[in-house]
Amino acid sequence: MALFSTLVKETQEIEGNRPDTSEYEEFKLNDLDDGSSFVGNPFLTKIYENEFDEYNKQGELTGNKVKKYSANLYITNNENEEVLKAKVNFKSDNDSIKVFKNSVAYDIIDSIEELNDPEKEEDKNVYSMSFKELQDYINDLDSITVDIIEHEGNFTYNTLRITQIGE
């Protein structure tokens, strides 16, 4: 008889291109200050589905579950034995993504576009593209430099802009 009636055991393939950084000091995106920089090798994971308890506006549990979708962007600096982890949120786990201005995903795509075409057309506030294309592009890069951008509104959060590709 099983101890936990809801326990599901499975084996998932770990994304193999990312080196073991378990001994490195890990920073989350919101741990860094506005305007600070980080340099390293980027790796964008697949999109994961997570389920959370739902809370109402008063902060009380509703009894419902909410699904959220995100990937993680890791930027590994082997020289300093540091890794930056940035959560990249999405609306679903579909390959076709739509991202909005002031989100981590938007700032990543927009900054790559700007680096490849400094005279690109006027900014739009929504980008749509293939997640796999973005993932392949990022995971093929050897090194990036990112600047941390702080956003203020109902709460304060950070995104990042890629300011340099390569060394």
Per-residue pLDDT of 145-160, as tens digits, reads 999 999 988 889 999 9
Please say if the pLDDT value at position 21 is more than 80.
yes
| Tokens coding 21 | 């950084």
Q: List residues bridging with 85 in a β-sheet.
A: 28, 74
Residue that wins the pLDDT comparison between 118 and 58: 58
What distance in Å separates the CA atoms of residue 93 and residue 48, rounded to the nearest whole number?
Answer: 7
Residue 61 lies in a domain: yes
| Tokens coding 138 | 């990022």
**By C-alpha distance, which of 112, 88, 87, 114 is closest to 100?**
88
Residue 4 lies in a domain: no
Please say if the pLDDT value at position 74 is more than 90.
yes
Report the domain count for the chain. Answer: 1
Residue 35 lies in a domain: yes
**By C-alpha distance, which of 98, 82, 79 is closest to 90?**
98
Residue 111 φ then ψ, to 5° = -70, -35
- The share of the chain scoring above pLDDT 70, in percent, equals 89
Residue 11 lies in a domain: no
Full domain range(s) for residue 99: 25-165
- Give pLDDT, residue 118: 79
Please say if the pLDDT value at position 15 is more than 80.
no
151, 30 in Cβ contact below 8 A? no
Residue 146 lies in a domain: yes
- Give pLDDT, residue 2: 56
- Give pLDDT, residue 14: 52
Residue 6 lies in a domain: no
Residue 7 lies in a domain: no
**By C-alpha distance, which of 65, 68, 129, 64 is closest to 93?**
68
Please say if the pLDDT value at position 33 is more than 60.
yes
Single pTM value for the model: 0.84
| Tokens coding 149 | 């951008």
| Tokens coding 9 | 């055991």
What digits encode the pLDDT tens for the residues 110-123? 999 889 887 877 77
Residue 19 lies in a domain: no
**What is the Cα 48 distance to its own chain's centre?**
11
